[in-house]
Amino acid sequence: MLDYTAAARLFVDRADSGEYFDSSSAERSRTILRSLIEEPERKLLFLLGEPGVGKSHMLETIGKEMGTERKIVHLREPFFDPKAFLVRLLEEVGERSEGELDRLKALAVERYGSREHLVMIDEAQLLSESSLEFLRILADTKAFRLLLSMHRKEGEEILAKPHFRTRSHRVVEIGTLRPEEVERYLRGTLKRAGMEEISQMVTPKLLKRISRYSEGNFRTLKRMMQSMFELVQYAKENGREGLSRPCDCVLDMAAIELELIDA
């Protein structure tokens, strides 16, 4: 018996799931990031992309891949207190973190300047102006290798400001999935879970609609697939035979539910 609830669970979106899809854009971003992180010069790095394209997954992937080579400090939420940020950095390397801000900064520069590491900050577009300036000052010491993940629009606005524009930094951007990559991701996910029959129900015509509604956004795609399979399961359990398999109508219902299209 087909279990559409199990199919829906395959597409639950969790940033900490460790999931990584090797789209051409993600692979390019990953390759460039690894290369920049391995450079001797510790430039301030920015990872930009629209909400939902996979920036958090990228940080998780980079952290796991490079964790054996260097100390990884991953802040999954932005910090709002420079002193608390320094305390976290020092605790990560087993250092007592007491004293005033200047002392903590000097100690962090000493400890991180002498070791290979990567400090990653997710959702960095939420940082305050003063916090961003603090990071810029830390980057100027050349002791820290900082990677800031930001929404593209806000990130571009921040990078246009003089105190970032005139400093040494690099920007890497993640794009969206192409239609053929949407198909490869969906079919691959279902087939690896032993759901070949359900995969075959997703017709080329339906795939085009899925790609159009999701606009190639990884998170949107997953949420839409989760919703579609949940709706199919509901229809199946309630005798709605015409809606008890993936089809345009159920997909439209899922897209309306997620406010991707108008009712």
Domain extents for the chain? Answer: 4-14+178-257, 24-173
Indicate the pTM of the whole model. Answer: 0.88
pLDDT of residue 96: 80
Share of the chain above pLDDT 90, in %: 83
* Pairwise pLDDT comparison (208 vs 78), residue with the higher score: 208
CATH of domain 24-173: 3.40.50.300
Q: Report CA 20 to chain centroid distance, whole Å.
A: 9
pLDDT of residue 161: 84
Kindly tell me if the per-residue pLDDT of 110 is higher than 90.
Answer: yes
| 187-197 mean pLDDT | 96
* Nearest alpha-carbon partner for 146 in 73, 246, 230, 82: 73
Give the chain's mean pLDDT.
93
**Tokens 């854009």 sit on residue:** 25
Kindly tell me if the per-residue pLDDT of 117 is higher than 90.
Answer: yes
pLDDT of residue 242: 86
Residue 148 dihedral angles phi and psi, to the nearest 5°? -110, 125
Tokens of 52: 């939902």
pLDDT of residue 16: 59
pLDDT digits (tens, 9 = 90+) for 4-17: 999 999 999 876 56
Kindly tell me if the per-residue pLDDT of 97 is higher than 80.
Answer: no
pLDDT digits (tens, 9 = 90+) for 147-169: 999 999 999 998 898 777 777 88
